[in-house]
Structure 1
């Protein structure tokens, strides 16, 4: 192995563990709501969760116009289906707020409550998450408004159906069950959350209230995972007898035309990496309106659905979305990428994440077979993806490659900045050369492990 390569791709020494441990405990700050926009590398950022994640076409067009007038014209949809507007200034945040009010867009106060994107229009839903959200906000107004709750407290209400929210992790999950019952669980997604109560809506609301009271006692720095198990069982003495038949979460691509059980259609579209220019969005909304679409539903996985259009308009809508730069086909490589804003847009980032992601989609297509998500994180905060996966974290020295972990985890390799394309191409070639028939990229990486990957990266 050449000396240059040995210097460029080097194992992280043990002393770096202290740095990573500190990074893990750093708080990313409060959610950047209208009342508290977040400074970034390209100005102030505001995150919005419109009531129910639903907007009319004219409302979303108004937001796009406001983003262009008062920000830098960039909008984003997050992995949890929230909307972000970038490049604002202190003097324009109030103007954005006025535009939101004038458009009739309701942004509830307190923690964001994320509900199934097709609520109310999906005939397969087991319950009405919008009604449950209204009930929670009405009955639990005081605890939800407590300043002692963690700024990033997450509440998910999953009505089920074709596009439920089982993949979203949350502090508190409220999940519709058969026979008008609701399950309340904490700290996890549809498979990993711990059930604490099950019953009619009144039981679920009471259980959420109990959990909120425990979180208020714990204070701002704590989340549902920090609730003492003994205390939890004292509040929910029957939690251990709840028996559920959990099936593996099916991953249905958001992108594309989807026919619901009642014969109606919705069209899922994704801007590349969840980011779009206001001008492109406005042009798409104009075309969608002309083809009969009525509304937009923001959705997890960085996209949204068009609803209300006649079936015969679907082909024209698909063409319009593609024309304006939006993905409408499932399985596109960008679907398997989580990339933060990156250098230039974020003051913490060490590299331009999306530029590198585009290069690697071309140079290493084997990584994007859908078996894993490739996480491009500009720094160790890992804002774009909160699950273990193949991660490339930026640092002052270059890049940290983590085979199956979070952005702040101990890296398996350190890669010098100028060698990143070489390293990833080597990684891709190693997968192509070593995987068995029908073996996915994720399975091959798991089998190779850190030792096998290290050997591949160090070969000349």
Structure 2
């Protein structure tokens, strides 16, 4: 059912609705690299993954200044911990690349290989994923660079430790079981991936070699999900018997102050909804460097870790971060919102996701008890969040509400554009009125179901 279209007095937010896609929706099959930037609603987009996700404050500041000089000054950190620079032009991409080279930033070729953000500094790490990445790239250099591999093919190397990558889905997962042995799995996260084989580094690389060759043989752009399980069993006889490796019961959150087992201090920082302006980032980095920060690690979850701050200076950086639009405190409610770039930054988006996010935070705090993620997706591609969530997908008519699903899923309710604020308020009121003692927002919505939620949204 579509909630009735609003009149001019119903509080339509023109900023949400003024940017409408006019071009055909792009698929998510492309990966916007320096060599192949992606056209978006605000120019060209480039996605970078520096080697190991590691940068110095000076290097990241250089990227920020370059983004301002050659793009529109907007940078983003993705859910997988990659850096995006927006608003570039065809003639300015080469200038950005030159600045990257001059700063000594290495961006490896081929599909992204994502490793634990605290690699090499976390004493709880099971094994060094950076060493495994180097060995993998050395042994399979030509294969990894093959143009027959899908541009968005993903490889995760999880060395374990305080900030593991078990929640990160990938085509190929390499997980440390011990200082010498690794598990190789495909198509999923730490729980859902199909486990193929275990063994020392050389054996693990051999398995990856076989999987990549199989993908090349299957044809251009194939992903791990396209591999027929019948092809796996003859090659990997242990496929039906391997159990998932144990994962820590609690993993380190991103934002806030953390101390590793050996006393090293970390400060996790998240730009609001993953997006930041170059001048704000530069100012924060200058302040953090002056107070002792020496290194940066990009991290899944749309943020980064500042490393090297003396413990007694962390509070000053946290205060500065808040002033520049960053969250550096654990428990911020905005961490429970996954928002894509939205209208004005992406030609496919139907509404301004960040504007709506701020209104939802103010109008419906009951949603943010930590039990669910609110996914604000400008269109059905769902770029910001690939897992089921409470989702609002932009459409030509307004919004699709999916209670627990993906952006392209079947809507549980359709909401006309001018009624979105009313719908959010009614949804929050419904939870407040119906939630039992100790019941979470997610559990309440599940119990109410589509029928109960639909009834609440139609009430005046």
Distance 1:165 1:210, change over 3 A: same
Task: Check whether the contact 1:151–1:220 (CA below 8 A) recurs between aligned residues.
Answer: no
- Partner deviation per Cα, 1:130-150 (whole Å, 9 max, x = no partner): 000111111011221111111
Paired residues for 1:56-75 under 5 Å: 56-75=56-75
Distance in structure 1 (CA, Å) of the matches to 2:309 and 2:181: 32
- Partner deviation per Cα, 1:180-235 (whole Å, 9 max, x = no partner): 21111111111111110111111111111111111111223421111111111111
CA apart distance, 1:237:
1.2
Match of 1:434 in 2: 434
SS in 1 for 2:240: helix
SS in 1 for 2:436: coil
Task: Check whether the contact 1:117–1:299 (CA below 8 A) recurs between aligned residues.
Answer: yes
- How many residues are treated as equivalent by the alignment? 442
CA apart distance, 1:30:
1.4
CA apart distance, 1:316:
2.1
Match of 1:78 in 2: 78
Match of 1:314 in 2: 314
Match of 1:207 in 2: 207
Task: Check whether the contact 1:191–1:249 (CA below 8 A) recurs between aligned residues.
Answer: no
Distance in structure 2 (CA, Å) of the matches to 1:137 and 1:62: 27
Distance 1:105 1:7, change over 3 A: closer
What are the ranges of 5 or more consecutive residues in structure 1 without an aligned counterpart?
A: 9-24
Task: Check whether the contact 1:150–1:219 (CA below 8 A) recurs between aligned residues.
Answer: no
Match of 1:100 in 2: 100
Distance in structure 2 (CA, Å) of the matches to 1:310 and 1:349: 42
Paired residues for 1:409-448 under 5 Å: 409-448=409-448
CA apart distance, 1:246:
3.7
CA apart distance, 1:90:
0.7
Distance in structure 1 (CA, Å) of the matches to 2:272 and 2:395: 24
The answer as to 2:255 corresponding to 1:255 is yes
Distance in structure 2 (CA, Å) of the matches to 1:68 and 1:108: 23
The answer as to 2:38 corresponding to 1:38 is yes
Distance in structure 1 (CA, Å) of the matches to 2:91 and 2:201: 44
CA apart distance, 1:455:
1.2
The answer as to 2:236 corresponding to 1:241 is no
Distance in structure 1 (CA, Å) of the matches to 2:438 and 2:32: 44
Match of 2:273 in 1: 273
Distance in structure 2 (CA, Å) of the matches to 1:372 and 1:304: 22
Task: Check whether the contact 1:182–1:201 (CA below 8 A) recurs between aligned residues.
Answer: yes
CA apart distance, 1:248:
7.2
Task: Check whether the contact 2:274–2:303 (CA below 8 A) recurs between aligned residues.
Answer: yes
TM-score between the two structures when normalised by the length of structure 2: 0.93
Match of 1:154 in 2: 154
Match of 2:12 in 1: none
- Partner deviation per Cα, 1:164-193 (whole Å, 9 max, x = no partner): 111100010001112521111111111111
More displaced 10-residue stretch of structure 1: 313-322 or 444-453: 313-322
- Partner deviation per Cα, 1:278-315 (whole Å, 9 max, x = no partner): 10111111111111110100000000000122223222
SS in 1 for 2:419: helix
Match of 1:324 in 2: 324
Task: Check whether the contact 1:380–1:408 (CA below 8 A) recurs between aligned residues.
Answer: yes
More displaced 10-residue stretch of structure 1: 318-327 or 141-150: 318-327
SS in 2 for 1:235: coil
SS in 2 for 1:99: helix
CA apart distance, 1:252:
3.4
Distance in structure 1 (CA, Å) of the matches to 2:196 and 2:127: 19
SS in 2 for 1:241: coil
CA apart distance, 1:242:
1.9
Task: Check whether the contact 2:191–2:244 (CA below 8 A) recurs between aligned residues.
Answer: no
- Partner deviation per Cα, 1:2-31 (whole Å, 9 max, x = no partner): x995567xxxxxxxxxxxxxxxx9731311
Distance 1:5 1:412, change over 3 A: closer
Task: Check whether the contact 1:190–1:249 (CA below 8 A) recurs between aligned residues.
Answer: no
Distance in structure 2 (CA, Å) of the matches to 1:394 and 1:123: 44
The answer as to 2:167 corresponding to 1:195 is no
Distance in structure 2 (CA, Å) of the matches to 1:85 and 1:33: 10
CA apart distance, 1:251:
5.0
What are the ranges of 5 or more consecutive residues in structure 2 without an aligned counterpart?
A: 7-24
Distance 1:26 1:322, change over 3 A: closer
- Partner deviation per Cα, 1:369-426 (whole Å, 9 max, x = no partner): 1111100000111111100111000010110000111111111111000001111111
Distance in structure 1 (CA, Å) of the matches to 2:195 and 2:151: 23
Match of 1:405 in 2: 405
Distance 1:184 1:421, change over 3 A: same
TM-score between the two structures when normalised by the length of structure 1: 0.93
Match of 2:118 in 1: 118
Task: Check whether the contact 2:185–2:194 (CA below 8 A) recurs between aligned residues.
Answer: yes
Distance in structure 1 (CA, Å) of the matches to 2:63 and 2:154: 24
Match of 2:14 in 1: none
Distance in structure 2 (CA, Å) of the matches to 1:410 and 1:251: 33
